[in-house]
Amino acid sequence: MTDVRLPGLPALPSWRSFPELNIRTYVRTADGPDGIWFLGLLVPLLSFSAAARSIGLPYQRSSSQISVDGSHWKYRFDTPHPRQLTHHDWFTASVEVGEPLAEADRTPWLESVTGRWTAFHQRAGILWGTPVYHEPWELYAASGVGNLTAPLRWAGLPEPEDEPVVHASYTVHSRLGLPRRA
């Protein structure tokens, strides 16, 4: 994530650039809008984690590192903890980014998981929906290997039976609106 800030304010120096890993599922409210429900979110910054937790987002701290060498991207996140950092390669991924995804490969399912416009979360027993604004993701074919399932188990999900589906996007500019009761 880069240049994370409140509207009209500059990014805090420590929030200018940092890794984030999110574990999410896709949901629909009773009245129909699609959205994302975050099961867990990891960042290395205590200040960001605490701020996001105060509005009901399930952030935890995790020592992390991302490296990019052309089309080869490497990710490492360590065991999550709400306040302290630990050092244990808990999630690792090595991703090879390929060619831009052909229009014919942009299936309705893929458009759905990359185009959710509301992030749902709960705070003080109230369900909130926060609008998410971003352009359509410019997607690339990709392949990935590594220790990929620890975040799923941490979020209470079973081991997947299928191989991972991997796509990449170099940049997605996102802006969040004000949370509303859902």
Domains of the chain: residue spans and CATH? 20-181 (2.40.400.10)
111-130: burial string, b at 16+ Cβ within 10 Å, e else? eeebebebbbbeeeeeebbb
Q: Which two tokens stand for residue 111?
A: 């458009």
What is the three-class DSSP state of 13? helix
At residue 116, the pLDDT reads: 74
From the first residue on, what is the mean pLDDT of each consecutive set of 10 residues in the chain (182 residues)? 85 90 89 87 93 90 94 94 72 96 91 86 90 90 94 91 92 87 88
**How far is it, in rounded angstroms, from Cα 118 to Cα 24?**
12
At residue 83, the pLDDT reads: 67
Find out whether 35 and 119 touch, Cβ atoms under 8 Å: yes
